[in-house]
Amino acid sequence: MSTMRAAVVHSFTEPLRIDERPLPAPGPHEALVRVEYTGVCHTDLHAARGDWPVKPELPFVPGHEGVGTVVAVGEHVERVRVGDLVGNAWLASACGACEFCESGWETLCPAQRNSGYSVDGSFGDHMLVDARFCPVIPAGVDLAAAAPILCAGVTVYKGLKVTEARPGQWMLVSGIGGLGHVAVQYAVAMGMRVVAIDVDETKLALARQHGAEVTVNADEHDAVGEITRATGGGVHGALVTAVNGKAFPQAVAGLRRGGTVALVGLPPESFPLDIFTTVLLGLTVRGSIVGTRRDMAEALDFFARGLVSPTYSVRRLEEINEVFGEMDRGGIDGRVVLSMA
Ligand SMILES: [Zn+2]
Ligand SMILES: [Zn+2]
């Protein structure tokens, strides 16, 4: 019997182990994928530690930014063929029949399954994907760079969309880290005028390189006043990727009347929302979780046309515990992509 190699979580308090396990056979709707690269997301670290109320069942393989080649398909698979480039994503599958699935919001399906959490993910040299849901990677792209699009990219792209800001309008991107630097590029590609806010001057310089017209240091005394002045009354939309509690009230305060702030970062704390201002200025605060299959296809299309290029560094699968350690200390710029080679 042939085997595969994967980084496996056996306990929430111990490092991952690289195990040899039997190569799984695809079920009727599944494809078996030979993984080339997988991005490492903060969610993988939370999963490996069992940080969230609903914990993954042990043992499991994390990872939801994997890309590779289909090597076998189940009997009912029509959407992809052997040799196609595909990926996995946080949304591994959904029921297809609930009110959310029926209305094109499969990301809200209560019966959804999640890669690297409730189904084994991409931290291995092979993975199974549901061929009805897996992202299809456009031909000719850099596969290592494509990996971060599958979670970081689609998450910020969808977050920008749900602000309902239009081309020519102002978008505030809060936090220019792994998500934020990609968000600036999507917003510019979508025709928005970008204000970037962060506490780190190097990150603000990166945002300007990616096309931000205005950059504001969040630690400055009058950061919100600066946003309001530079945009002639505040931003139409704001996307908060920062996990710093202060970023949320700052983004809300930077909104123009009628503006919308979309939240995609997951800090452990809550933030106070001033109801009086929210009502009088007609503000909207909206949560946004990853993206649907359609959002994914659109996000990948921007990437394939060269409009978005995530910053990443490549490490080996065997280095996953060191990578998690660095992530925990906040020492990672851009995205880490693990190579299975
Ligand atoms: Zn993720
Ligand atoms: Zn459903």
Whole-structure pTM value: 0.96
Question: Measured in angstroms, how far is the CA atom of residue 64 from the centroid of ligand 1?
Answer: 6
CA of 257 to the centre of ligand 1 (A): 32
Q: Which of 3.40.50.300, 3.40.50.2300, 3.90.180.10, 1.10.760.10 would CATH assign to domain 3-151+291-339?
A: 3.90.180.10
Ligand nearest to the CA of 152: 1
**According to CATH, where is 3.40.50.720 located in the chain?**
153-287
Which ligand is closest in space to the CA of residue 113? 2
Q: What is the pLDDT of residue 35?
A: 98
Q: How far is the CA of 198 from the centre of ligand 2 (A)?
A: 37
pLDDT in tens, 120-166: 999 999 999 999 999 999 999 999 999 999 999 999 999 999 999 99
Q: Which residues of the chain have pLDDT under 70?
A: 1
For the chain, residues classed under CATH 3.90.180.10 are 3-151+291-339
Q: Which CATH superfamily is domain 153-287 in?
A: NAD(P)-binding Rossmann-like Domain (3.40.50.720)
**DSSP H stretches of helix in 179-236:** 180-189, 201-209, 223-230
Helices (H), the chain: 42-49, 99-102, 143-146, 152-162, 180-189, 201-209, 223-230, 247-253, 275-280, 293-304, 320-328
